[in-house]
Amino acid sequence: MNAMTTTLTIDGAGRLVLPKPVREELQLSAGDSLELETSENEIVLRPVRGAATMRKKQGVWVMSTGKPLSAEVVNETIRKIREERGRVDITDLRSNDLRTKDLHPSRRRTGKSK
């Protein structure tokens, strides 16, 4: 980031407005949190970033939050992704006992033995 020196004015409610170039450079938007540090005659503001990190693992981007996700959250996420992609969830097939009804017309069971 390029160094910037500017003068900010505190309004009647004690608020400061960060210049747009600073917000853009630090990717800050409304509702983001800043950590405030004071020492002697200095004030330092730092963006509060989550502990989540992204890294590539075997060619796939993986987000690590430092906390394990519950099985419920994982299953719900998988269900939503499959729904968006139009895929059938095998657990739905089992729970509805549709295993005997093949979804592919070329492999439908006729009930006749060979």
Write the secondary structure of the chain as one string of H (helix), E (strand) and C (coil): CCCCCCCCCCCCCCCCCCCHHHHHHCCCCCCCCEEEEEECCEEEEEECCCCCEEEEECCEEEEECCCCCCHHHHHHHHHHHHHHHCCCCHHHHHHCCCCCCCCCHHHCCCCCCC
Token pair for 14: 């004690």
Q: 53-101, pLDDT tens digit by residue? A: 777 888 888 877 777 888 998 899 888 988 888 876 666 666 665 545 5
Amino acid code (one letter) for 19: P
The whole-number pLDDT of residue 11 equals: 95
- pLDDT over threshold 70, residue 110: no
CB-based contacts of 1: which residues, under 8 Å, 6+ apart?
A: 25, 26
Stated length of the chain: 114
Mean pLDDT value across residues 45-50: 84
Question: Mean pLDDT score of the chain, rounded to an integer?
Answer: 79
Would you list the domain boundaries of the chain? 17-48, 67-100
pTM of the complete model:
0.43
